[in-house]
Amino acid sequence: MTGVYEITPIGRVESPLLERGMAPRQGDEGAPDAWLAFEPRVRDGLQDVRAGQELLVLTWLDRATREVLTVRPRGEGDRPLTGVFSTRSPDRPNPIGLHRVRVLEVDGLRVKVGDLEALDGTPIVDVKPVLGQVNER
């Protein structure tokens, strides 16, 4: 029942955030702009990404701890221990980060985005559009 699947990064984050202590909890809490640097092999998949769009960036939070199942939300010691699936803690069995960002600039395989709380070097695993209403899809 529990096969294992392999994720191969499609790129990396380039950010001034170098370690967890520097990062805000979420992108809309004061995160800096960052560059997404994609691998040449996924170039065709990026061909419709444009400045001004909102995207969901999925990352592999490679500095997270995978053995954790309960945390105190936002690292605040006075909050009760909470199941990780009810929090956005990076520490969780499969540490996939989900980041909603706006595209600021596209330069070939490099995409500049606003307000990204992921650390420098974080692997990018997928990018998706934000879905509009059903009749706009």
Residues in touch with a second copy (CB under 8 A)? 1-10, 12, 25-26, 28-29, 39, 42-49, 53, 55-56, 58, 60, 62, 69-70, 73-74, 82-88, 92-94, 96, 98, 123, 125-129, 131, 134, 137
Of 132, 118, 135, the C-alpha closest to 23 is 118
Which residue number, 22 or 86, has a Cβ lying nearer to a second copy? Answer: 86
C-beta of 27: minimal distance to a second copy in Å? Answer: 10
Which residue number, 19 or 44, has a Cβ lying nearer to a second copy? Answer: 44
What does the alpha-carbon distance between residue 48 and residue 82 come to, in Å, rounded to a whole number? 40
Give residue 81's identity as a one-letter amino acid code.
L
What does the alpha-carbon distance between residue 34 and residue 55 come to, in Å, rounded to a whole number? 14
C-beta of 81: minimal distance to a second copy in Å? Answer: 9
> Residue 127's CB: how many other CB atoms inside 10 A?
22
